[in-house]
Structure 1
């Protein structure tokens, strides 16, 4: 039976293993999308590929119909940060960067993950941005462990992002309005996980909790706005953005990245 700790869902070992099955399915769907994400393909076609992988496994896309969202993945190209809507009319071009966010529900449990993919040859600044975002994600993942406070994860994400700014010689925008979240029997649950902040604050992390860690960085300002479709979030200055995400469970042994591929 599910228990709750200060509003945060706690899972048993068996329930976390069930979440791993959902996470592996999300990883397979993203791998299929990544294999086909080349110049000339539409984001609508990528959406169909991901949905097929999910439904063939007897699962349901988390995103489709969520508050009216019309697709199974989010495809956010270039200046779009998150929540981009796939379309058969939207064709990927050489040099684009697209973040693909995917979720699946298998036997009642959610998995949620995102990757940023280069389309053909991409410039070094864009590649560095994506790597910095991924580095920040993994730094956060490492702090998803029992005994830490929630903002220890936030602080690790921010610190890693700022380290990349120094090493890359670039000023990345670290987006604060959007962040990670609890996950389990629903896709978005308590707590909200900021991507920056002081350590040692917020609820204490416990074995059985699961969090989605998902930083977003830009090549310019961190200021964003939502388009008229009520979904797509873009950078106000038109700078490119990157987004990486993994679902992570807290076990006695430490963080378990549930959406990592089997290998």
Structure 2
């Protein structure tokens, strides 16, 4: 499954991964319901320890849960593949160096450019603490122009694929504004279609992607639409996380 590198998406340096994750992230299935779908509840680890999402996927599709530090779940059937991924752009600092990196990344993400020392100092005074910094990053990245740029980072062109058609706009994912990208591209001479959504909550980037043969996407679209409608996102550090399933979006600032 083509899941583009998050570093391409964030318009700045992604969270440092010098320290190994504590363990492999987990995606746990519930029993299949009468409609033949399974709710998968996923939780990150290491720097992504606060990240959570859940999504419904067909019981008869092959599902691949996370196999390394990245929080990604994939479902496939034939040539059709769906993936949901998440990464914390501003993880909880563990060391003094982490703290310095946290504020540098937060300032860069808010400004969408490399900050000066004056920029960094001004933002740190204004934000005052990590929670406010994450809110500022989230608000900055939910602007239409930034969401569209993030969606553009998911393009097959970044993998040297020939893109023959493209459409981008701002839609919604999990109750939040999201960048949307639809492309037709050539892979080994065969036309394929990809649809991707990207949104941000509590400074965590959430991505959902569909890829299928261009001539065979029709049957997969209802499955894709159900997965998108079912997706719930939250973080354990937020108020929305503590009441996570009571509402899709209890606090629009998170």
Please say whether Structure 1 and Structure 2 have the same fold, judged by a TM-score greater than 0.5: no
Greater CA radius of gyration, 1 or 2? 2
Give the alignment's TM-score, normalised by structure 1.
Answer: 0.29
Greater strand share, structure number: 2
